[in-house]
């Protein structure tokens, strides 16, 4: 645990160090601008805090307002439903109506009295309640004639309404069976709950409930739904006679009797609050958040625009100010870059007596001294090095080398020295590829041939101790590589890895790995410790003159940091050297 904590602290310190170095490397003008940007962060933080605080306050106020609206709507609906419940009680407890509905009229002729009473009573109720569309009693008494309006037979009643009414045994149930109509139903069983003498149905126009919510349409939607989620009435007329859950998937959230929640619907965040009525229906109010916060967003937008204009003006002012301040520094920097390019004929005009002026004066003197120093020492040294290099190049004349090796080869063949002839021939082929007219880029095929020629020379020397194996993807021979990247590792295998007289097995592999080409030299020699592997990457040269570090540096300088050499080795088991380059035709 402590190790992880220390590692975390170390990483944080390293991050701070890198950040500090990054700031130090910024131009002076950029530093001024960075300081300005850092200084305005609290200002934007204040804007954000003000916005979020205002938003939260408005949200809480809206929650409270919607809760009050919801309670008021429910109270109004409960009062109205209770009124119709009391209206049904008049008929429910009417003993005269019960007698007329229960009598047997097969031998009696006073059913006209029943119709007269029922017509008078029901017509009076309809006249006093304009929102009541109809009152009907459904009965199983077949001896009582049905007039198709006030009296009907039980089989004409929708099965769903009949079952609900009978299950409630005298309690009022509400349902919707027709468009624009709310149906109140209750079984007429005043004395015997188990043996109802009919079902009373009162059909109420849904405008009765709509009138209670029609004014609640400012920035919010109000829905009254039944137990199945069907919309009984709503301020959104398009939603009437539809299922609320098909538009808003909130069925799971409406399981309790009341509550509030937020939900994303069709990419829009909405607030919902709901409460259940005594008859099982629910009142649901929903408000889109963008409407809830419309005024806040409008004010915030204005603040953001004003802040943006002020920010741009401040940035322009900072830019112009820093440009004036850094103008002398930039002039001095241009003269320094001339010196960097080797032009010491500089003359910085006086820049005053402040720190920048003193710096320009010191720079003039330094440039003059450096010019004299280069003239006296550096140019002479370069001339001497160039002379030495020309001498070395003259000594290593490829044509002279090829002709000399050819003469030795012919003489050896003439004198019967077959082994000498082969060795010189392989050596000539080796140098012909390796020198390559001074070019550093060769085909992979040529690099493999160079390895094979070198092996052929060494096989003559070691006589049966080298066991070579090749696993080469010849489709990669058309690609190019820098030369002499494999031979140094083959040479290391031969000179440092042979353990005993049984010799050594060496595998040379070339294969493709995505957009890269991988070379591998694998041996079963003595192997190396991890310390020796690390030392090998530090040495610039080995016995062959081309060390591991030399090859790795050339690969990374040519192809980039992700390419180069990696070594895996175990003492007594062997060594695997892996070289990775990108696929290249040029």
Q: Which of 198-202, 488-492, 505-509, 540-544 has the lowest mean pLDDT?
A: 540-544
Sequence-distant (6+) residues with CB within 8 A of 342 are none
| Strand-pair partners of 467 | 505
The pTM of the full predicted model, rounded to 2 decimals, is 0.46
Domain boundary among 236, 257, 290: 290
Residue 177: what are its φ and ψ, rounded to 5°? -120, -20
**Residue 507: pLDDT above 90?**
yes
Give percent above pLDDT 90 in the chain: 13
pLDDT attached to residue 331: 73
pLDDT attached to residue 191: 63
Output 318 or 586, whichever has higher pLDDT.
318
Q: Rounded to whole angstroms, how far apart are CA atoms 421 and 425?
A: 6
Q: Rounded to whole angstroms, how far apart are CA atoms 347 and 367?
A: 9
- pLDDT (mean) for 19-38: 66
Summarize pLDDT for 194-203 with one digit per residue, the tens. 678 889 999 8
Q: Which of 50-54, 95-99, 482-486 has the lowest mean pLDDT?
A: 50-54
CATH number for the domain including 552?
3.30.565.10
Give the HSE-up count for residue 279: Cα atoms under 13 Å, Cβ half-sphere. Answer: 29
- pLDDT (mean) for 139-162: 88
pLDDT attached to residue 135: 92
Summarize pLDDT for 241-280 with one digit per residue, the tens. 788 888 888 888 888 888 888 888 888 888 888 999 988 8
Q: Considering the domain boundaries, does residue 81 fall inside one?
A: yes
User: Could you tell me if 496 and 469 are in contact, meaning their C-beta atoms sit under 8 angstroms apart?
Assistant: no
pLDDT attached to residue 382: 56
User: Could you tell me if 413 and 421 are in contact, meaning their C-beta atoms sit under 8 angstroms apart?
Assistant: yes
User: Could you tell me if 473 and 512 are in contact, meaning their C-beta atoms sit under 8 angstroms apart?
Assistant: yes
CATH number for the domain including 212?
3.30.450.20
User: Helical H runs in 396-443?
Assistant: 398-415, 418-435
Domain boundary among 290, 307, 342: 290
Sequence-distant (6+) residues with CB within 8 A of 363 are 332, 335, 336, 346, 348
Q: Considering the domain boundaries, does residue 415 fall inside one?
A: no
**Residue 23: pLDDT above 70?**
no
pLDDT attached to residue 16: 65
pLDDT attached to residue 397: 43
Q: Rounded to whole angstroms, how far apart are CA atoms 575 and 569?
A: 4
Q: Rounded to whole angstroms, how far apart are CA atoms 434 and 457?
A: 15
User: Could you tell me if 137 and 152 are in contact, meaning their C-beta atoms sit under 8 angstroms apart?
Assistant: yes
Domain boundary among 270, 290, 310: 290
Summarize pLDDT for 360-403 with one digit per residue, the tens. 667 677 767 776 776 666 665 555 444 344 433 443 444 445 44
Q: Rounded to whole angstroms, how far apart are CA atoms 36 and 59?
A: 35
pLDDT attached to residue 406: 53
Q: Which tokens in the block code for residue 285?
A: 């109010």
pLDDT attached to residue 521: 95
Residue 25, Cβ density class (10 Å: 0-12 exposed, 13-18 middle, ≥19 buried): exposed
Q: Which tokens in the block code for residue 468?
A: 């070579």
Q: Considering the domain boundaries, does residue 11 fall inside one?
A: no
Q: Considering the domain boundaries, does residue 178 fall inside one?
A: yes
* C-alpha distances in Å from residue 209, one per residue of 125, 212, 223, 286: 19, 5, 11, 18
Q: Considering the domain boundaries, does residue 237 fall inside one?
A: yes
pLDDT attached to residue 233: 84
* C-alpha distances in Å from residue 262, one per residue of 63, 258, 268, 287, 483: 11, 14, 10, 10, 69
pLDDT attached to residue 391: 36
pLDDT attached to residue 581: 95
| Strand-pair partners of 478 | none
Question: Which among 322, 88, 289 is positioned nearest to 200, based on CA atoms?
Answer: 88
| Strand-pair partners of 260 | 273
**Residue 189: pLDDT above 60?**
yes
Q: Rounded to whole angstroms, how far apart are CA atoms 542 and 536?
A: 8
SS3 453: helix
**Residue 477: pLDDT above 90?**
yes
Residue 575 pLDDT class (50, 70, 90 cuts): very high
Q: Considering the domain boundaries, does residue 25 fall inside one?
A: no
pLDDT attached to residue 448: 92
**Residue 546: pLDDT above 50?**
no
Q: Rounded to whole angstroms, how far apart are CA atoms 466 and 458?
A: 8
Q: Considering the domain boundaries, does residue 501 fall inside one?
A: yes
User: Could you tell me if 581 and 516 are in contact, meaning their C-beta atoms sit under 8 angstroms apart?
Assistant: yes
The H-or-E segment that residue 124 falls in is: helix 111-128
**Residue 519: pLDDT above 90?**
yes
Greatest mean pLDDT among 140-154, 161-175, 240-254, 513-527 lies in: 513-527
Q: If you count them, how many residues does the chain have? A: 586
The H-or-E segment that residue 300 falls in is: helix 294-340
What is the domain range of residue 71?
A: 61-290
Output 413 or 254, whichever has higher pLDDT.
254
Q: Rounded to whole angstroms, how far apart are CA atoms 59 and 295?
A: 12
Residue 514 pLDDT class (50, 70, 90 cuts): very high
User: Could you tell me if 239 and 247 are in contact, meaning their C-beta atoms sit under 8 angstroms apart?
Assistant: yes
SS3 452: helix
pLDDT attached to residue 242: 84
Summarize pLDDT for 49-76 with one digit per residue, the tens. 776 777 677 777 777 888 888 888 889 8
Q: Considering the domain boundaries, does residue 125 fall inside one?
A: yes
How many folded domains does the chain comprise? 2
The H-or-E segment that residue 305 falls in is: helix 294-340
């Amino acid at each position: 645990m402590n190790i992880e904590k220390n590692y975390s602290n170390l990483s944080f310190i390293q991050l701070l160090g890198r950040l500090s170095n990054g700031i130090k490397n910024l131009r002076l003008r950029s530093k001024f601008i960075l300081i300005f940007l850092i200084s305005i962060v609290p200002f934007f933080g204040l804007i954000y805090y003000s916005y979020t605080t205002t938003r939260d306050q408005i949200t809480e106020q809206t929650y409270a307002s919607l809760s009050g609206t919801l309670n008021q709507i429910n109270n109004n609906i409960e009062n109205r439903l209770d009124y119709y419940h009391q209206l049904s009680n008049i008929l429910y407890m009417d003993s005269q109506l019960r007698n007329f509905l229960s009598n047997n009229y097969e031998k009696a002729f006073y059913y006209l009295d029943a119709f007269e009473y029922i017509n008078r009573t029901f017509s009076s109720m309809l006249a006093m309640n304009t929102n009541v569309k109809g009152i009907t009693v459904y009965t199983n008494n077949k001896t009582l004639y049905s007039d198709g309006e006030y009296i009907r037979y039980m089989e004409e009643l929708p099965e769903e309404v009949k079952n609900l009414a009978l299950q409630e045994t005298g309690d009022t149930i509400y349902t919707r069976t027709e468009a624009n109509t709310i149906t109140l139903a209750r079984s007429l069983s005043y004395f015997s709950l188990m043996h109802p003498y009919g079902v009373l149905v009162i059909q109420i126009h849904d405008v009765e409930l709509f009138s209670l919510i029609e004014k609640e349409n400012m920035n919010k939607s109000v829905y009254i739904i039944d137990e199945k989620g069907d919309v009984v009435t709503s301020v959104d007329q398009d939603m009437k006679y539809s299922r609320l859950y098909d538009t808003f998937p909130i069925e799971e959230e409406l399981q309790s009797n009341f509550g509030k929640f937020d939900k994303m619907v069709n990419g829009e965040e909405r607030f919902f609050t709901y409460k259940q009525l005594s008859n099982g229906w629910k009142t649901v109010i929903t408000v889109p958040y963008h409407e809830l916060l419309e005024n806040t967003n409008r004010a915030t937008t204005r603040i953001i625009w004003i802040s943006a204009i002020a920010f741009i003006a401040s940035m322009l002012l900072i830019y112009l100010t820093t440009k004036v301040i850094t103008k002398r520094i930039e002039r001095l920097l241009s003269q320094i870059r001339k010196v960097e390019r080797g032009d010491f004929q500089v003359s910085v005009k006086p820049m005053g007596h402040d720190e920048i002026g003193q710096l320009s004066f010191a720079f003039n003197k330094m440039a003059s001294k450096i010019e004299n120093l280069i003239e006296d020492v550096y140019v002479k040294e370069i001339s001497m090095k160039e002379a030495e290099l020309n001498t070395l190049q003259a000594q290593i004349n490829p044509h002279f080398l090829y002709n000399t090796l050819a003469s030795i080869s012919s003489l050896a063949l003439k004198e019967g020295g077959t082994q000498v002839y082969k060795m010189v021939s392989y050596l000539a082929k080796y140098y012909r590829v390796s020198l390559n007219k001074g070019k550093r880029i060769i085909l992979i095929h040529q690099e493999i041939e160079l390895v094979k020629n070198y092996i052929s020379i060494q096989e003559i020397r070691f006589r049966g101790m080298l066991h070579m194996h090749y696993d080469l993807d010849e489709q990669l021979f058309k690609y190019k590589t820098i030369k002499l990247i494999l031979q140094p590792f083959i040479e290391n295998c031969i000179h440092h890895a042979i353990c005993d007289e049984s010799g050594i097995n060496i595998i040379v592999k070339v294969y493709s790995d995505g957009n890269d080409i991988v070379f591998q030299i694998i041996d079963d020699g003595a192997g190396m410790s991890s310390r020796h592997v690390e030392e090998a990457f530090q040495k610039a040269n080995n016995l062959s003159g081309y060390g591991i570090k030399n090859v790795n540096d050339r690969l990374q300088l040519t192809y980039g940091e992700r390419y180069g050499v990696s070594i895996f080795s175990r003492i007594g088991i062997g060594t695997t050297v892996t070289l990775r380059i990108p696929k290249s035709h040029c």
